[in-house]
A = this chain, B = another copy of it.
Amino acid sequence: MRKLINAPADVVADALRGLAAAHPALRVDPDERTVVRADAPRPGKVALVSGGGSGHEPLHGGFVGPGMLDAAVPGEVFTSPVPDQILAATMAVQGGAGVLHIVKNYTGDVLNFRMAAELAEDEGIEVVPVIVNDDVAVEDSTFTAGRRGTGATLFVEKIAGALAEEGAGLAAVAAVAREVNERSRSFGVALSPCTVPAAGRPTFELGEDEIELGIGIHGEPGRERVPAMPAAEVVDAALTAIDADMPLAGSELLVLVNGMGGTPLIEQYIAYAAVSDWLTAHGATAARPLVGPYVTSLEMAGCMISVCRLTPELTRLWDAPVETPGLRWGR
Give the interface of A toward B (CB within 8 A): 2-7, 11, 14-19, 21-23, 54-55, 57-58, 62, 189, 191-192, 208, 211, 228, 230-232, 234, 261-274, 276, 286, 289-291, 293, 296, 298-299, 301-303, 321, 325, 328-330
Q: Are B328 and A6 in contact (CB under 8 A)?
A: no
Selected from B62, B208, B329, the residue in CB contact (under 8 A) with A265 is B62
Oligomer: number of copies: 2
Selected from B4, B293, B302, B328, the residue in CB contact (under 8 A) with A271 is B4
Selected from B6, B54, B231, the residue in CB contact (under 8 A) with A231 is B6
Q: Are B289 and A21 in contact (CB under 8 A)?
A: yes
Task: Determine the chain B residues whose CB is within 8 A of the CB of A265 once the complex forms.
Answer: 57-58, 62, 261, 293, 296
Q: Are B231 and A270 in contact (CB under 8 A)?
A: no
Task: Determine the chain B residues whose CB is within 8 A of the CB of A321 once the complex forms.
Answer: 330
**Smallest distance from the beta carbon of A199 to chain B beta carbons, Å?**
15
Q: Are A191 and B22 in contact (CB under 8 A)?
A: no
A-B contact pairs, 29 of them (CB 8 A): A2-B191, A3-B191, A3-B267, A4-B268, A5-B231, A14-B231, A14-B274, A15-B267, A15-B270, A15-B273, A17-B276, A18-B272, A21-B272, A21-B273, A21-B289, A23-B289, A54-B266, A57-B269, A58-B265, A261-B265, A262-B262, A262-B263, A263-B299, A264-B299, A265-B296, A267-B299, A299-B301, A328-B328, A330-B330
User: Known: A15-B273, A21-B273, A286-B21. Is A263-B191 also a contact (CB below 8 A)?
Assistant: no
User: Known: A58-B265, A262-B299, A269-B15. Is A232-B6 also a contact (CB below 8 A)?
Assistant: yes
Distance, CA A21 to CA B270, complexed state (A): 11
Selected from B62, B228, B286, B289, the residue in CB contact (under 8 A) with A2 is B228
Q: Nearest chain-B residue to A302 (Cβ)?
A: B4
**Smallest distance from the beta carbon of A275 to chain B beta carbons, Å?**
8
Q: Are B266 and A55 in contact (CB under 8 A)?
A: yes
